[in-house]
Structure 1
């Protein structure tokens, strides 16, 4: 967080360490989280969706340009700087890591239902993956705020993990038939199962 400085990333001011605790002083955000908005069954207008996704992707593009991946992109970690939700802020860097370190502290991590297939299906815990794992998670959020339902819906944790691992996505819903073709293309590219074929944050912002 000290390395990164971007309008769409939570700003840290100071870190204090005592014998028993570490205190991190960060900026105050007054708009709540995207998870709160989804939980209240808020319906997002197209311009709001565009603003939210642009904020997430801008923050990720900046992080990724520093070879850092967040690894826990989900609605609860997407905050708003003010109540009018004009500025999107990525928070909770507890699982963030540099991509090229010798070994990740946690390899298979993230929140079920939002984890990229290459991460949740990881067998060799010493294997590496890239920043596009965050893009898949971002695609899950994009899908959710467009449709009003989670990409992977299940009755229990085991079923959720199974669906997340399979990463099968149905784009036959009527909402996708009415969706802007460019936005739909970006969504599909974000949710590409093969990471090598997945769009980057930088390229998504250009579309």
Structure 2
């Protein structure tokens, strides 16, 4: 084991402790691979950083820069910042064993969705601000904040958690120290980097402003057709809120971006960025530097207050959204319950209607059968009546021979017998229609 400053480098072979699996990504002098710790089975990301083997070479990363990154990572422990687990070193590489963040870059997430709603962007910005606030509380500036260096833990989650990664350009900011440098990704760097001016924590806040603009619109505020045009736009703070992209964006969000994309006008811009190698020999105006440092300190404090105020606003907004969501969820649950009741009632009514239809059809069939039966009986009885009338006619013919008194009595008896016969045969239904009367004929 080898210790330099705070950074601890284990000299054992990393392959003895980890199974190195597939490659996850690569940069100019670094390759990231997935690995599995043999003793625990836990997955990590192994970042192989190629060391610069001698001062004359331009290939690889200088050892002091690797040590600075390791030293900073060892001092960080935050839910929105990647965690360093272990460090190994061999002759050509330093291997950082880092927390595995497998949800992909925020850049890829944006590419799939083009742009986010204000509520979705708020959730990401809140997490980014939490991470940046933690870094700044330790006087650490990231200096390379961009969507590619913001990773998602799980891109399938409704509200993915983010992690800030890649601290290769990060520096500890010492009060009163003269610190200038030209680094970072042109699209996201602050004007003080472009103009080779005094650098501080506020450079990260500029990058947060650019990221917020991109999250809400899918467009980049300063990106030009060339690197020089991009840097000129940054130096002039040349951006606008195109109605095509920001037509539905709130004034609060636009104001938030404007407050972050502010140039420190107390410092004179240096327009010789193309010749930045000459800057090392440029004489500094001490009084201007002191004035700039004072303004930078004031600006940092103001930005810190703004960040805390915005975090408070976002927290209140989040609570309101949760309350509204719960109210809507309860209302939907009540509507679903009422719908299920109505559906059950509808099904019951349909079943009753089907039963009623079947009963009516059955009754109709029975009625038709009975009607046919009664019609047949009516015809038979009418035939019988005609026969009786014929019989009675013949009897009346004999009346002259036998005497009318006995015939009349016989007619009455036959009438009563016939009525009783009809009553037994068909009940009152036919009797009301057929009223036999066997009487004396003239």
Stretch of structure 1 that moved more, 108-117 or 195-204: 195-204
**Which stretch shows the higher mean deviation, 55-64 or 35-44?**
35-44
SS at match of 2:230: helix
Which segment drifts farther, 56-65 or 11-20?
A: 11-20
Aligned residues: 202
- Equivalent in the alignment of 1:136: 206
Query: Of residues 162, 168, 184 in structure 2, which corresponds to 1:94?
Result: 168
Q: Corresponding residue for 1:82?
A: 154
SS at match of 2:86: strand
Quick one: distance in 2 between partners of 1:188 and 1:174? Answer: 18
Contact 1:43–1:148, Cα closer than 8 Å, also in 2: yes
Deviation for aligned residue 1:122 = 1.3
- Is 1:117 equivalent to 2:191 in the alignment? yes
Q: Does 1:161 align with 2:235?
A: no
Checking the alignment, whether the CA contact within 8 Å between 2:221 and 2:240 is kept in structure 1 is no
- Which of the two has greater helix per residue? 2
Radius of gyration: which is bigger?
A: 2
Name which of 186, 190, 204 aligns with 2:256.
186
Q: Deviations over 1:158-203 (max 9, x none)?
A: 2222222222221353654532333222211111122638733444
Gaps of 5+ in 2: 1-72, 265-295, 314-442
Moved more, 171-180 or 131-140: 171-180
Counterparts of residues 35-50 of structure 1 (less than 5 Å): 35-50=107-122
Distance 1:103 1:61 in 2: 23
User: What is the alpha-carbon distance in structure 2 between the residues aligned to residue 38 and residue 174 of structure 1?
Assistant: 18
Q: Distance in 2 between matches of 1:132 and 1:22?
A: 31
SS at match of 2:303: coil
* Cα distance per residue 1:23-63 (max 9 Å; x no partner): 00111112111111233353322222111101111000000
Say whether the 8 Å CA contact 1:57–1:204 is kept in structure 2.
Answer: no
Give the secondary-structure state (helix, strand or coil) at the position aligned to 1:54. helix
Partner of 1:13: 85
TM-score normalised to structure 1 length = 0.87
Q: Which residue in 2 is equivalent to 1:67? A: 139
Contact 2:110/2:116, CA 8 A, preserved across alignment:
no
Report if the CA contact (8 A) 1:113-1:160 is conserved: yes
Secondary structure of the residue aligned to 2:88 is strand
Alignment correspondent of 1:56: 128
